[in-house]
Amino acid sequence: METFGKRLAEATEKRGRLCVGIDPHAALLTRWGLSDDIAGLERFARTVVEALADRVAVLKPQSAFFERFGSRGIGILESTIRQSREAGALVLLDVKRGDIGSTMAAYADAYLDPSSSLCADAITVSPYLGVGSLQPAFDVAARNGGGVFVLALTSNPEGPSVQHAVASDKRTVGQAVIDEISQLNAGAEPLGSLGLVIGATIGDTGHDLSRVNGPLLAPGLGAQGATPSDLRSVFGESLRNVLPSYSREVLAAGPGVVELRAAAERAVADCETALG
């Protein structure tokens, strides 16, 4: 079974380095002229998949925007994951789960076990019960060729109060997370399957990313204020592992399929130029 790291490297080589979020929040549904209900959600998700799943390397559905519609919303999320993967896109399900023991194992089975209807190629997780608490997700991902992206340095203004806090060993909390994931990825070829989430808006924080050997998801491009040229100041010599992530900047081009595709193509071109 191919690892997620290998599959991601192949996908970005073929389709370009771009992750597009699928974020059907109320304001965006309204902008598309859709109703903020299950019918609007279904139309939105189906259009994004039709436009992008056969040409973008990674699609990132935000689970919360589907969950808010209850069981029917989850059903549409299941269809969105399945159809996206069938069209060749890798699916990174943005769920940001984090717990301990059997509960974390249950989350891992829900999102990373092929027997689950919610199974994606990778998920996002939160390490703030300790990176070790995420081991069940790492194990299920490894067993099934999946990936896990761990929050490390996020773009939200509340993040630094926790992530930049300095521990007794003089490392920040964020650097400790980075170092643990780096150790778990050591020796992986061509790329480790454990990634980090590092906001494109944070600038040069002095954190060392040189040994991560895994994908670096960079949300915050476009509507959140970061530009592709900002990636160099954030990631430095680790640009080769960066996976730029857009949501509203691309999605706002809808509801037309042609317009969505054109917006994604511009994003890929801009990011490839900036990343070299």
Is 60 assigned a catalytic role? Answer: no
3-state secondary structure of 148: strand
Contacts of 100 (CB under 8 A, 6+ apart): 129, 133
The rounded radius of gyration (Å) of the Cα atoms in the chain is: 18
Burial 96-123 (b: 16+ CB within 10 A, else e): bbbbeeeebbebbbbbbeeeeebbbbbb
3-state secondary structure of 80: helix
What 3 state SS string does 29-67 have? HHHCCCCCCHHHHHHHHHHHHHHHCCCCCEEEEEHHHHH
Q: Which of 14, 60, 96, 170 is catalytic?
A: 96
Positive or negative: CA dihedral 107, 108, 111, 113: negative
Rounded Cα distance, 62 and 124, in Å: 10
- Which residues carry out catalysis? 96
